[in-house]
Structure 1
Amino acid sequence: MTQSSRPASAPGTAAGKRKGAYHHGNLRQAIIDAAVALVTESGLEAMTLREAARRAGVSSGAPFRHFPDKRELVQAVAEQGMAILRSTMEDSLARSPAQGPLVQLAVLAHAYVDWAMRHPTYYRVLGDRLLIDFYASEPLLRDNRWIRQKMQDLLAAAADAGMLAITDLARANLQARAMAYGLARMWVDGHFPEFDLAAKAAAGAAMTDALDGFVASLAKDPAAVLGEIRALRG
């Protein structure tokens, strides 16, 4: 397996950072965590290098040792978010190594939506390519290539096994990513109450059904694949 690109610090701690949290540790990570917390609370516009420094409990000039401007800090947030996404996908696949390629494709899709629901700030930052220089960042490109290649490999394996009802694998790859991305966007942007799915559990169940149905629709035997996907979740 490709080497994991997990961030050095635990991903779930960012929102809990407060002023004074930095104690001669990793200054760069402390500033990133403070930025994530600020964006989560008040939006990207309210996040500044000075405010991130205050939140991290360091001098106002400290962030400039690592980030010459706000855009560079946002880029670092995006890279951390993408690393967490890849790690989430790798962990999910590692828990279902014996499953068929279409079931694993569903696992990837669910991992993506789960990541977005758990980390909406990272989703928002990564989703707006105007905020970051995506194609100038090797960490972002590397992790994104890994995700795309994994999807391509699973679809190719399904085709080789004669499982697919479609022949255009590139289009299927695009459609699968669009389905997962669109559902995640609907959650992050708060669209589910319009469909009487305000509760997180209800929205999550609806997204699960949509993803399962889409992946099954790629198969020659949709009912069999859908049964395998649902059996995996118990």
Structure 2
Amino acid sequence: MTERASQRSNSRAGTGKQRGAYHHGNLRQAIIDAAVEVVSESGVEAMTLREAARRAGVSSGAPFRHFPGKRELVLAVAEQGMAILRRDMERRLAQCKSENPLVRMAVLAHAYVQWAMRHPTHYRVLGDRLLIDFYSSEPLLADNRWIRDNMQHLLEKADERGMLAVNDLALANLQSRAMAYGLARMLVDGHFPEFDLANDDSAGAAMIDALDGFVALLSRDPDGVLKEIRAHK
């Protein structure tokens, strides 16, 4: 179940409910999952190790076996979210049959906004550098570097083939990341109803169209690239 679906389910069933007794599984993961539930429902401020333990059905001291404090637990939520994002991107690239680097860039962008739609809590936590010590986490740095390097590699391949209408590849990489991040932020913060996009399906389609149009504008042949991107959805 995605976070968004879980939030709807919790809303119908009532919040603050305990998951049930924990039975000798992965305690660390159970605590992280419980923390995601609390943050989804009530925000980071309401999340404590004690509440995460209660949700997971374990003793109040159990989380301290893995997390010295709240900040470390929130960081673990961020690491989980980034790992999910990277897996989604790797899977989508593996499924993409096109060798056009701009089409593959669009695939990465699609994966990003669709991940944010499915995992809004992870998106919020990852996006707030005041909540987490991002640069102290090797998993976060490694996954973020993988995303950035793949984007840069695809831009370089497009440039080598004479496909790009832009010259500054680093700037194009930054702009591409900002475009995807900004659309995801608008979604998670609830801005799309202002544009008559009141549900996930319409907002999701609008984000994909916006990303496709942006990637196409990087090309010397925007119409051709846009056509190929849409053919590989």
Q: TM-score range by the shorter chain?
A: over 0.9
| Mapped pair 1:224 → 2:231 | no
The separation in 2 between residues aligned to 1:204 and 1:146, in whole angstroms, is 25
* Cross-structure match for 1:154: 154
Q: Report Cα offsets for 1:134-161 as digits up to 9, x if no partner.
A: 0000000000000000000000000001
SS class of match (2:198): coil
User: Aligned ranges for residues 140-179 of structure 1 at < 5 Å?
Assistant: 140-179=140-179
- Gaps of at least 5 residues in structure 1 are 1-9
Residue of structure 1 equivalent to 2:136: 136
Q: Which amino acid aligns with 1:143?
A: D
Q: Deviations over 1:4-58 (max 9, x none)?
A: xxxxxx9779958943252101111110010001111111111110000000000
Aligned amino acid, residue 127 of structure 1: G
Letter of the 1:71 partner, please give it.
R
Within 5 A, what are the aligned runs for 1:95-106? Answer: 95-106=95-106
Query: Tell me, what secondary structure is at the counterpart of 1:162?
Result: coil
Q: Structure 1's 30 and 14: CA in aligned 2 closer, same or farther, altered over 3 A?
A: farther
Query: What fraction of aligned residue pairs are identical, expressed as a percent?
Result: 75
Alpha-carbon distance in 2 for matches of 1:14, 1:139: 27
Q: Following TM superposition, where does structure 1 have runs of at least 4 consecutive aligned residues deviating by more than 3 angstroms? A: 10-18
TM-score (norm 2): 0.92
| Counterpart position of 2:64 | 64
Q: How many residues align?
A: 224
Cα pair distance change 1:232/1:58, threshold 3 Å: same
Structure 2 unmatched runs, 5+: 11-16
Contact 1:14 1:36 in 2 (8 A): no
TM-score, normalised to structure 1, is: 0.92
Equivalents in 2 of 1:14, 1:58: separation in Å? 25
Matched to 1:138, the amino acid is E
Mapping for residues 76-87 of structure 1, pairs under 5 Å:
76-87=76-87
Partner of 2:50: 50
Query: What are the Cα deviations for residues 103-138 of structure 1, in whole angstroms up to 9, with x where unaligned?
Result: 000000000000000000000000000000000000
Aligned to 2:123: 123
What are the Cα deviations for residues 165-213 of structure 1, in whole angstroms up to 9, with x where unaligned? 1110000000000000000000000000111111111111111110000
Give the partner amino acid of 2:178: A
Which secondary structure state, in structure 1, belongs to the residue aligned with residue 132 of structure 2? coil
RMSD: 1.8
Partner of 2:198: 198
SS of residue matched to 2:99:
coil
1:72-117 per-residue CA deviation (whole Å, 9 max, x = no partner) reads 0000000000000000100110110433100000000000000000
